[in-house]
């Protein structure tokens, strides 16, 4: 290709990219930059134009706040347990759906339903089902004789984290199933047949062939879900508002910024959330070697 032609193609490429770059500047870079800027100020939300620069004071205030560390602990506990359960469940269901079972098409469609329901709606439904007096959940348990009076699932400080994890698993396992199923379908059938003819037992076929070949797909799914879980806001907020037992880092930042009107400290907390998400992403990408496994 001549240099002139190459230059022209280059120009065309930039032309195509320009709208996207513009949109990204507007919706991502600009707000992120503003947040970053405000985190170094003592501004309040009622009048952001009045502020003074305070250096790293806001960042220090956040990490000296025990409520923040409680939120970090909650967030990591929630993310780790829910993603672990979702991965295992997702893998199991995907393996089942990958078999030629009757009604597979219907099952595949049906399993997506929880994921298609808006988080707020699903959370409200579950909240009602788990209601201590009128909830269908308690009703079933009582009629089965497991318990003799209704349990306040969403009010009890020791149970509420479990409820949040449970509802999240119910909502997002389909996403895991979908990604892992897509990965399963890229494994050639003849390879599994070859192993079968060679007398490899089913567990070894799974452990030594399916799982290694599925690793990139599972890795991407875990990464997506983990990042989603760490910045989780809606589920816990709808279910328990600012309840300390399930307060995530996003809820903490929201409380400081919106409820307490502390634009500076809230922005600093948001920046910490951003850094936390980035850190987890880097660790996961490194641990799962997602950058390299693409070629394998």
Partner 1 sequence: MASIALSSVTKAYGTHKVIRGVDLEIANGEFVVFVGPSGCGKSTLLRIVAGLVPASGGQVLIDGEDVTDVPASKRGVAFVFQSYALYPHMSVERNIGFALETLRIGKEAIRSKVDTVARMLKVDHLLARRPRELSGGQRQRVAIGRALVREPEIFLFDEPLSNLDSDLRMEMRIEIARLHETLKTTMVYVTHDQAEAMTLADRIVVLNQGSIEQVGTPLELYQAPANRFVAGFIGSPRMNFGTVPVGTETGAFVLPAGLVADAAASGDRQPVSIGVRPEALSIVAADAGRMSGILERVEDLGHEHFAYIRLSDESIWVVRVAGRPPTERRNQPVGLSFADADIFVFDAEGKRIEHRAAGPTPVTDAGEGRLVHER
Residue 81 interacts with partner 1 (CB under 8 A)? no
In the set 31, 118, 162, 201, which binds partner 1 (CB under 8 A)? 201
In the set 209, 277, 281, 284, which binds partner 1 (CB under 8 A)? 209
User: Is the Cβ–Cβ distance between 227 and 277 less than 8 Å?
Assistant: yes
In the set 2, 49, 143, 296, which binds partner 1 (CB under 8 A)? 296
In the set 196, 244, 286, 287, which binds partner 1 (CB under 8 A)? 196
| Distance in angstroms (rounded) separating the CA atoms of residues 26 and 31 | 8
Residue 291 interacts with partner 1 (CB under 8 A)? no
Q: Nearest approach, Cβ of 212 to partner 1 (angstroms)?
A: 5
Q: Nearest approach, Cβ of 58 to partner 1 (angstroms)?
A: 48
Q: Buried b / exposed e across 143-176, counting CB within 10 Å, b at 16+?
A: eeeeeeebbebbeeeebbbebbbbbbbbbbbbbb
Q: Nearest approach, Cβ of 287 to partner 1 (angstroms)?
A: 18
In the set 32, 188, 241, 278, which binds partner 1 (CB under 8 A)? 188
Q: What is the DSSP letter of 53?
A: B
In the set 193, 241, 260, 282, which binds partner 1 (CB under 8 A)? 193
Nearer to partner 1, 19 or 105 (CB): 105
Residue 198 interacts with partner 1 (CB under 8 A)? yes
User: Is the Cβ–Cβ distance between 229 and 1 less than 8 Å?
Assistant: no
- DSSP string computed for 155-196: T-TTTHHHHHHHHHHHHHHHHHHHHHHHHHTTS-HHHHHHHH
Q: Nearest approach, Cβ of 20 to partner 1 (angstroms)?
A: 34
User: Is the Cβ–Cβ distance between 239 and 127 less than 8 Å?
Assistant: yes
Residue with tokens 């503003």: 34
Residue 290 interacts with partner 1 (CB under 8 A)? no
Residue 186 interacts with partner 1 (CB under 8 A)? no
> Which span (41-49, 140-148, 186-194, 264-272) binds partner 1, by CB under 8 A?
186-194
The pattern of x and - marking residues 237 through 276 that bind partner 1 according to CB under 8 A reads: ----------------------------------------
Residue with tokens 């193609």: 9
Residues listed for the chain = 296
3-state SS class at 235: helix
User: Is the Cβ–Cβ distance between 219 and 87 less than 8 Å?
Assistant: no
User: Is the Cβ–Cβ distance between 227 and 116 less than 8 Å?
Assistant: no
The pattern of x and - marking residues 141 through 180 that bind partner 1 according to CB under 8 A reads: ----------------------------------------
**Residue 151 half-sphere exposure toward CB, CA atoms < 13 A:** 16
In the set 156, 208, 244, 259, which binds partner 1 (CB under 8 A)? 208
> Which span (142-150, 175-183, 204-212, 220-228) binds partner 1, by CB under 8 A?
204-212
Q: Nearest approach, Cβ of 95 to partner 1 (angstroms)?
A: 18
Chain centre distance of CA 262: 27
Phi–psi pair at 53, nearest 5 degrees:
-80, 135
Site residues (vs partner 1, CB under 8 A): 188, 190-191, 193-201, 204, 208-209, 212-213, 296
């Amino acid at each position: 290709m001549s240099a002139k032609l190459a230059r022209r193609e280059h120009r065309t490429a930039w032309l195509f990219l320009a709208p996207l770059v513009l949109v990204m500047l507007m919706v991502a870079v600009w707000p992120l930059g503003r947040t970053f800027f405000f985190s170094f100020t003592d501004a309040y939300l009622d009048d952001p134009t009045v502020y003074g620069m305070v250096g790293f004071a806001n960042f220090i205030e956040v990490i000296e706040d025990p409520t923040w560390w409680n939120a970090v602990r909650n967030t990591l506990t929630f993310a780790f347990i829910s993603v672990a359960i979702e991965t295992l469940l997702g893998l199991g269901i995907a393996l089942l759906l990958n078999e030629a079972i009757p009604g597979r098409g219907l099952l595949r469609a049906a399993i997506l339903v929880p994921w298609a329901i808006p988080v707020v709606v699903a959370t409200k439904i579950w909240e009602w089902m788990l209601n201590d007096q009128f909830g269908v959940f308690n009703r079933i348990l009582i009629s089965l004789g497991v318990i003799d009076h209704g349990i306040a699932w969403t009010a009890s400080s020791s149970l509420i984290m479990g409820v949040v994890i449970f509802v999240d698993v119910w909502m997002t396992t389909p996403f895991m199933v979908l990604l892992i199923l897509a990965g399963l379908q890229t494994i050639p059938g003849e390879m599994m047949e070859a192993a079968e003819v060679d007398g490899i037992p089913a567990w070894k076929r799974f452990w030594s062939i399916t799982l290694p070949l599925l690793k990139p797909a599972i890795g991407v799914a875990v990464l997506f879900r983990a990042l989603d879980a760490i910045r989780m806001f809606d589920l816990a907020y709808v279910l328990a508002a600012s309840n300390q037992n399930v307060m995530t880092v996003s809820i903490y930042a929201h409380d400081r910024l919106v409820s307490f009107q502390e634009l500076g400290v809230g922005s600093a907390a948001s920046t910490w959330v951003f850094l936390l998400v980035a850190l987890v992403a880097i660790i996961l990408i490194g641990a799962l070697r997602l950058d390299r496994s693409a070629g394998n």
